Structure formats: structure tokens, C-alpha cells
Amino acid sequence: MNSYTAHHRRVTHSLRGSTPAALRFALFWLSLLLMAGLSSQAFSADLQIRIGYLELIKERPPLLSNVLPEPEDSGLQGARLGLKDNNAGGRFLGQNFELLETRSQQLTELIEQARDWQNEGVELLLLNMDAEALLELAGQFSPDQVLLFNVGSAENALRRGQCLPNLLHTLPSRAMLTDALAQWMKAKRLTDWMLIEGARPEDKAYADSLRRSAKRFGAKIVEQKQWSFDTDLRRSAQREVPLFTQGEDYDAVLVADELGDFGEFLLYNTWLPRPVAGTQGLKPVAWHRVVEQWGAAQLQKRFDKLAGRWMNSHDYAAWAATRSIGEAVASSGTADALSVRRQLLSEQFQLAGFKGRKLSYRSWNGQLRQPIALVQPRALVSQSPQEGFLHPVTELDTLGFDHQESQCRDLLAAANH
């Protein structure tokens, strides 16, 4: 019997028959002894977990409006915060997490880096890139070699028809975002929409998602228009936008302008005095600086201290992916790609994500279930799913593609074979 065990037993035996004050004093010292025992193991990490972060840098095209650009380190800082959180708890479990980072404008460089990492035993990769690049990189590996986390693409096809058995998504799909907005519109009885979409491919994708959500939740698109002007709206919005938005009576204007080319100028300039929502106005997002409920304020402060700016949706997605890995490794004690995938897709896995609900992954397409915030620039307006939208399993599955809507096979079953 070592001295620690003997002292532990002496303290335990002395608790019997003690006064409340003596009991509190004894428990205080017992807690110190236990912490000392844990901390003596904290610096000898038995399990090293390396996580790779790969980002494809794309130049932002010229726009007609002076929108604030997304930070250059968007996503990366979220992964860094997740790493700090993992190590804060991992050191008591003999686990040490390391983040490897590569950002490039060339996809070939990222593919080469991913291969090098995989040869060195790095099996967990966060991918911040568009869907086309993601699929090309993922195709370089067999499903059992690596586990991939999509933290950069909201493309619906990745969750519906182009699923991969080793690909999980922490960034919400466009369908989740537009479903969240459509639920709120339905709850507010704003069901007649004018839809205005930009000319870029991503604008069409968002508009298609709005059309799907309108049909799903009983809204009607009374008029559709495409913004194809190259007018400098900074000088002419008050004149041009009212004329452009004339037409059928509508309850709200829904806008699909993902890069922010014209959408900001629709607010307060429409022919009818109606709310604007979508990519501008009332906006559905994974994360925003105005989210403070459910303990989110402390996450916001820690991120601001680390990055010197506000956390955005891509940061949150990368943080959630990194924390998911941390929770899976803490539960299973292993860090290989297949074991982590099985743990994350199991019914037992839950992630505390500062959204008022425990988060989990859908087994059919790897999407992280999560509430969606509806925000305006300086306040949280609501959070979906809205009250009254029911589901036999979880109301979170009213957002995005449910099992019967997806053509993907069961990822958990694939991981167990």
C-alpha cells in the first residue's frame, strides 16, 4: 500500500461520526488529494491525437457593394479553440491533441499534404473547401483510411446524393438554413413570398433550397425575379429597388445572394413595406456574435480572446468538429478513424454545443443535428426548430434532409462492417 492510498483510507474512515464542519474540511482535503493524484498523471500523455486542417483559399470576386469580407482565418480559429478545449480535459485522461494546419490556393498541394499526413498516421481531417474540391480530395483515400469533417461547404448534394461513408458535416446544409427560416415564416403567417436571386451558381443553389423549403412548409412563391443588373446601388438603391420589387402582393421578400452583391440594398427599399430574409435581412446561421444564451457568452469571450474577433459559422463548424473528435476519443480511448466514426454516429454520442440542445450526428448522411439561429445584425430574433413542428425522433430532424429524403446509405452500418 502506497502512502497516497493509506492517507486516502485514513481520511475516508475519519469521516464517520464527524461534525458537519469537520466533514466539509475532510472533503476539502480529500478533493485536493484526488486532484493531486490526477495532476501527477496529467503531464504524461499516453495517447497523441493529431488532427489535420486543410483549407482551399479562393479569391473573392468583385462585388457591387462594400460588404465586410469574411476573415482570412475563418474556420481555422474555430479549430484552434476546439483544440484548446480538447487539451483542457484531455490532459487528465492522458490524451494530447495537436492541430496540423495547411492553407493553399492549390488543391493539388492540399491533396499531397493529406497523403503525407495519412502516411504519418494522421487519420482525422477537417476540410474547409467547396464541395467539388472536397469530393476530389476525399476520392484519394479509402473510407477506412481517414475520417473527414466538412466545415466549409453547405452544398445540399453532399447530404442527399453524394454522401461518403467517412464524411461528416458540422456546417449546416443550405436545406437546414432555409428550413429554419421557412418554419419561422410559417409561424408568423408570412407565407406569400417574392423570391429574388442573384446570377451566381451559389445564389441559384440557395434559391432552389428556398423553393424546397417553401413547398415543405406550405409557403407560396408568388413571384420570382433574378437580379442581373450591374448598377452601383450605393447611389441608386432608393430609385431602382422599389421599381424592381413591384408585382404581386407578398408578405416577405426572400433573397438569395450568398456573396452579398445586392441583397443588403433590398432592406427598406422594397415597393411594399415588407421584411427581407434569406442571405440578407433576417438570416439563418449556424453561429453569430449575437448568440449569448445557453452559456454561449463564455464561448464567444474565449474565442474573442483567442482570435481578436467574433466567431462566425465556419469557426463554429470547425470548433464543433474538433470538439466532436475530443469527445469521441475521451469516450472510447482510441483515436483511429474508424473508431471515432463509430463513436460519433452512435446513439450514445452527444455534443454540448451551446445551443440549448445536445447535438448529434445523423447516421444516414453524417450531418450534425443542430438548432439554427435566426438573426439580424445586432440581435437574435429566434431559433429553429420552431415550436409546433414535430418529428417522431427529434424536432432537430425537421431541419434539412430526413432519412427518407436522402439517397445515402446508413453510415453507421457501413462503419460496423
Question: What average pLDDT does range 174-203 have in this prediction?
Answer: 98
Question: What average pLDDT does range 83-100 have in this prediction?
Answer: 96
At 228 the pLDDT is 80
Check whether 7 has a pLDDT greater than 50: no
Q: How far, CA to CA in Å, does 370 sit from each of 56, 119, 176, 184, 412?
A: 25, 34, 9, 16, 19
Three-state DSSP state, 276? strand
At 388 the pLDDT is 93
C-alpha cell at 228: 442581373
* Count of other CB atoms within 10 angstroms of residue 26: 15
Question: What average pLDDT does range 236-249 have in this prediction?
Answer: 83
Cis amide prior to 20 (ω within 30 degrees) = no
pTM, entire model:
0.87
Q: What is the CATH number of domain 176-285?
A: 3.40.50.2300
- Specify whether the CB–CB gap between 177 and 256 falls below 8 A: no
Query: Please, what is the Cα angle at 352 between 349 and 353, to 5 degrees?
Result: 120
- Specify whether the CB–CB gap between 306 and 283 falls below 8 A: no
Q: Is the dihedral of CA 125, 130, 135, 140 positive or negative?
A: negative
d(CA 228, CA 220): 23
Distance separating the N- and C-terminal Cα atoms of the chain: 46
At 232 the pLDDT is 59
Band of residue 36 on the pLDDT scale cut at 50, 70, 90: very low
Question: What average pLDDT does range 127-155 have in this prediction?
Answer: 97
Task: Write down the mean pLDDT value for the chain.
Answer: 89
For residue range 37-84, what is the model confidence (pLDDT) as tens digits?
444 444 446 899 999 999 999 988 776 666 678 899 999 999 999 999
Length of the chain: 417
Percent of residues, the chain, with pLDDT higher than 90: 77
Question: What average pLDDT does range 193-216 have in this prediction?
Answer: 97
CB burial of 361-370 (b: ≥16 within 10 Å; e: otherwise) equals bbbbbbbbbb
Band of residue 244 on the pLDDT scale cut at 50, 70, 90: confident
At 233 the pLDDT is 60
Q: How far, CA to CA in Å, does 62 sit from each of 67, 120, 205, 230?
A: 11, 40, 20, 11
d(CA 203, CA 263): 11
Question: What average pLDDT does range 293-315 have in this prediction?
Answer: 97
Band of residue 180 on the pLDDT scale cut at 50, 70, 90: very high
- Min mean pLDDT across 87-91, 174-178, 314-318 is at 87-91
Band of residue 18 on the pLDDT scale cut at 50, 70, 90: very low
Q: Is the dihedral of CA 310, 315, 317, 320 positive or negative?
A: negative
Residues of the chain with CATH 3.40.50.2300: 47-172+288-415, 176-285
Of 89-93, 162-166, 285-289, which one has max mean pLDDT?
A: 285-289
d(CA 244, CA 233): 12
The closest alpha carbon to 270, from 379, 196, 190, 198, belongs to 196
Amino acid code (one letter) for 35: M
Report the CATH fold assignment for 47-172+288-415. Answer: Rossmann fold (3.40.50)
Check whether 17 has a pLDDT greater than 90: no
At 30 the pLDDT is 47
